[in-house]
Amino acid sequence: MAAKRVGPDDEPDAETVRQSHDHWTRCEAALIGSRITVAASDLEGRYTWVFNPPGELPTDLVGRLDADVLLRAAADRLAAAKREVVESGEPTDFELELEGDRGPRWFDVGVRPHYERGRLAGTVASFVDVTESKVQEEHLRIILRELAHRSKNLLSVIQGIARQTADTARSTQQFLSRFNGRLFSLSRAHDVLTDADWRGARIFDLVRSQIALYAEDRLASVIVEGENRFLRPNAAQYVGLALHELTTNAIKYGALSRDDGAIEVRFEKLADTPAAYRFSWRETSSAEMHEPDGHSFGLMMLADVVPASVSGAAELVFHPEGLQYDLDIPKAQLLL
């Protein structure tokens, strides 16, 4: 049977009222617990009904204006949109920020003209909570800004490594070998940082990853003790480069060049300087260690570049039984 048409001055029959009530009940049930609010307002902007009001709005909206329940900026924006729709008969969409006990929340708002019995009776507005998406967008913007900053810093580090490596290399082949090795070391440090979502890198993970890059079969000869603390990203990069120089030197001349060689790595708070930690590298082996005649970039990296980059201090000593390296790192370079 065809639905009965109701004219502007006709009273709806019982069946029409029942169908309307069922329709509203289904709408209300569908919206409860969702992030969607639907509300109608009369020509003056007073709410006439509301489904599923958000926590930022009171539940007793009916009969009230936006200015009665919202802060001024949000109330003015929403009331202006309703007036615009009433005057033009055209729908409008915009984003609205509402303040609540949990902080600001954002809504995609759509305002449409509302007709009853063929006459404009006011507006119907939908509010879709998009706060989670807004927070994710802001988080993504922060990440992209941080990525741009880190990329610039990384390029500066690479440029410095290339320049200093070229200054001390005796041939193109030697330059490529040393430069590639240092880039691999930097890449491995970034792998450790990525695994920790770039919050930082644990010192023991850095040690093992750098040694494993060239001497994975000798990891059993390396003892790592002390506090496995998180280094901030910048410090992790440079400590990783220091570990690269220490590892490659140990493979060529030191503890990792002999079967009887051993390395002890410690990271602990300095007793006399509570605001600093010490990273120490101790080698022992039957290989007799001598201090190099020249001052290579590797030595400069350990003695000058790395400590300056972490605002710390370093000491490099060539004992006959093995190399000793101490790097003091301020507590500010750690995630505590």
- Alpha helix (H) residue ranges in 169-272: 172-195, 203-215, 233-252
What average pLDDT does range 160-171 have in this prediction? 84
**Does position 19 have pLDDT exceeding 90, yes or no?**
no
- Structural domain containing residue 319: 134-335
Using CB atoms within 10 Å of the CB of residue 108, give its burial: 0 to 12 exposed, 13 to 18 middle, 19+ buried.
middle
**Same domain (yes/no): 115, 139:** no
**Same domain (yes/no): 121, 227:** no
pLDDT score, position 30: 60
- In this structure, what are the phi and psi dihedrals at residue 11, rounded to the nearest 5 degrees? -90, 135
Token pair, residue 1, equals: 């049977």
Q: At what angle do helices 172-195 and 233-252 cross, to 10 degrees?
A: 130
SS3 state at 23: helix
**Same domain (yes/no): 166, 263:** yes
Task: Give the percent of the chain with pLDDT over 70.
Answer: 89
- Is 2 part of a structural domain of the chain? no
**Does position 257 have pLDDT exceeding 50, yes or no?**
yes
**Same domain (yes/no): 116, 175:** no
**Does position 54 have pLDDT exceeding 90, yes or no?**
no
pLDDT in tens, 213-236: 889 999 999 999 999 999 998 899
Sign of the C-alpha dihedral, residues 247, 249, 322, 305? negative
pLDDT score, position 26: 64
* Number of domains present in the structure of the chain: 2
Specify the pTM.
Answer: 0.61
pLDDT score, position 168: 79
pLDDT band per the 50, 70, 90 thresholds, residue 111: very high
Task: Please give the torsion angle defined by the CA atoms of residues 186, 215, 299 and 238, in that order, rounded to the nearest 10 degrees.
Answer: 30
**Same domain (yes/no): 113, 180:** no
pLDDT band per the 50, 70, 90 thresholds, residue 32: low
pLDDT score, position 190: 81
**Does position 274 have pLDDT exceeding 90, yes or no?**
no
CATH (domain of 78): 3.30.450.20
pLDDT score, position 25: 64
- Is 1 part of a structural domain of the chain? no
CATH (domain of 228): 3.30.565.10
- Is 5 part of a structural domain of the chain? no
Q: Which residue has the tokens 């930082």?
A: 200
- Is 286 part of a structural domain of the chain? yes
- Is 9 part of a structural domain of the chain? no
pLDDT in tens, 93-104: 999 998 877 788
- Is 208 part of a structural domain of the chain? yes
Of 99, 129, 159, which one is at a domain's C-terminal end?
129
Of 129, 144, 167, which one is at a domain's C-terminal end?
129
**Same domain (yes/no): 284, 312:** yes
